[in-house]
Structure formats: structure tokens, C-alpha cells
Structure 1
Amino acid sequence: MRTLTIIITSLLYIGCLSTEAQVFYASKEFKQKGVIEYLSIWGELVHYWTNVRKTDVKLTCTGRESLGWDKVYFPNDPAKYKLNFKGKDMVLHHPDGEIQIFKRLPFVYCSNGFERKGVVEFLEVAENDQTFLYYTSQNKAKKIKLHNLGKTVFHSKGYRFPNSSIVYKILMPNKCGGAIFCMHPDGRKQYFKSYDWK
């Protein structure tokens, strides 16, 4: 668990991995065209689902190693898999020797209907973990990189949109990253919950 915590901390400066800091991974078209397979890791819990079969299944993981699990089983299947961290990604070793890479998905937070009914606002932690990308459900392709007035994503004096002097503060109410708050200059407090990739 200690090494897992170090990896997650280095990725997002999160103090721990708990039930509130769920990390998602995806593998596209490994065996079948058009199928995306997902893993979620939530402390010691590992779940699997696909874009075709969205009901997740809990994997049985034993034989804990410093960077993963030596024995991983799908429900009602005796075949033994192995699951390891490799940098930001996960590597699933199949019983037949095949190796499947699951890429880490970005940490995304969302807020529904705060400014306008039916519009979802997103804050995505940028690749370098130094700031956020802002976008909405109306235009997910247009991601706006916020200017960070501090050093790291959660240790900042505030954020500004490009070409704007208005400063917003983004706060994490707990050290494990399950949700964040955006403090608007007019005093409003906007809640962003952790985005569920299902």
C-alpha cells in the first residue's frame, strides 16, 4: 500500500488513497474492435467493466506486491491474472502470456447546473499536475487552461481564465481528492464532485 500511495501522490499530490480517491484506467480495442475496457482502483478494491457491458465486476486480488497484485481473478473464472503499476499506467498480465496496458484516465471533477440548468462544468487536472483545464458539456473539445497563481494544483492562491483578472480559489475539503470547491469572487461556493468514468 505504501508504494501505491507514493505513486498516486506523485501523480496528483494527493495525500492518500482512500474510498474518496478513485483512479480510473482504460484499454482500447485490446481483443475486440470498438470495445473499451476499464479498471477502477479504489484503495484495495479493483473493479472491471467495458463500454459494452457497463455493470462493473469486483476482481479478487491477492498476493499483494509493492507495485500491484500477483494473483487477480475474475468472478467465476479460475484463470490467474497479474496486475501491476507501470508509471501512470496499469499492466494486466493474462494467463496466456498476453500483456494488456490500461492507460490512466485524467482526474476530472464536474459540477451540474451551477451557472445554467442542464450544463455540466468540468475541471480536469492538467497533464503536468500544475493547473486545471476548464470545459463544459456544451463544448468538451474546447478546453481552457487556467492560469495557476501558485505552485501546484491544490496549493494555489487562485486561478484565472486567460485574459481575465478575476481570481477563483479552488479548495480540496479533504486530503484524498473526492471533491473540490470553487470559491467565486462574489462569494458563491461551487461544488465539483469526482467524475465517474462509467
Structure 2
Amino acid sequence: MRNLFYTLLVVIGFTTVGVAQEINWITLEEAVKLQKKNPKKIMMDMYTNWCGPCKMLDKNTFQNKDVADYVNKHFYAVKFNAEGNETVTFKGKTYTNPGYDPAKANKRNSGHELARYFSIRSYPTIVYLDEDANLLAPIIGYQTPQQLELYLKVFKNNEHTNFKTQQDFQAFAQAFKPEFTN
């Protein structure tokens, strides 16, 4: 009887705590194709397998319910291994990683041609693309849900078009009131 009681407590605990929210990750090709039917911006997580801050971004930020809900509603989300071996066709050109070494799959490897196309040199970097898959900005580094919220809303609402100087953005960022929870 005692074991049944503890089992029920565990089951009830798991059902009330809830499951981490998931972002609907798709490929870049899928995102560009979907943009033609339903225009949305693209948020592309450029990560590597060995990157600690990339793993923190996955665990602490991308699984946040507010982040996942917002991204799923307003963006096409792409997760791309910037040192992986994927073949990607983007804007009529095929990108590969000719220097990829399978023995280094979870270590530092050769940079993918697509990462070079976007001038990515640090991980994680979140690349934002407009509704026509043109580069808006690469945002470098780990971000909490509230830090990411700033960029998601800036690009979603086209606020970035109002920033003429770095000071304009800094003033906006200081006045920004995040709504996402931890």
C-alpha cells in the first residue's frame, strides 16, 4: 500500500509539473518554402555539438514556455549545426562542409559553408532572416528567455528599422520591459 501511495505521488507530481515546451524546429529549406505560403521571419539557431552555451540555450531558453510559444507563433525556427555535415540549398546555391571529419563529430570541426555565408564565427549565434530570407542580423551568445524576448520582438515588430545608431538600440533595450517568465 505504501509503494502505491508513493507511485501515485510521483505520477501526480510529473503531471502537475508539466513537460518542457518545444519549439517546432524545421530545416532552412522547409522554412523558406513555408515563407512563400505564409510569410514569417526565420530564427535560425547556429550551434555546434561541443558548445556549452549552445546546450544551455537549448535547456534554459528554448524550452521556456513563453519563448517556445512566441517563436512557434511568429517565426519559422531552424536549428543548424554550424560544423555539421548537412547539405543545404539556400537561395539557389548548395552549401556543404567539405572539411567535415566524422571522427570529430562532437569536437571542434570544420565550419559549414552556410555558417561562413552568414559570417558566423562564434557559437551560439541566432541568425534572424526577414520574410524573404534576407539577413536581418546575427545575434551572438547565450541569451536568457528575457534577453531573447527583446530580439524576438524587435525583429517580429520591425523595430530594428527605427534604429539609426547603436545608441538608438541601447535606449530601446533599456526601456524594454520583458514579459517572458523564467
Fold-level similarity (TM above 0.5): no
Give the TM-score taking structure 2 as reference length. 0.25
Q: Report the structure, 1 or 2, having the larger strand content.
A: 1
TM-score normalised by L of structure 1: 0.24
* Structure number having the greater helix percentage: 2
Larger RCO: 1 or 2 (CA < 8 Å, sep 6+): 2
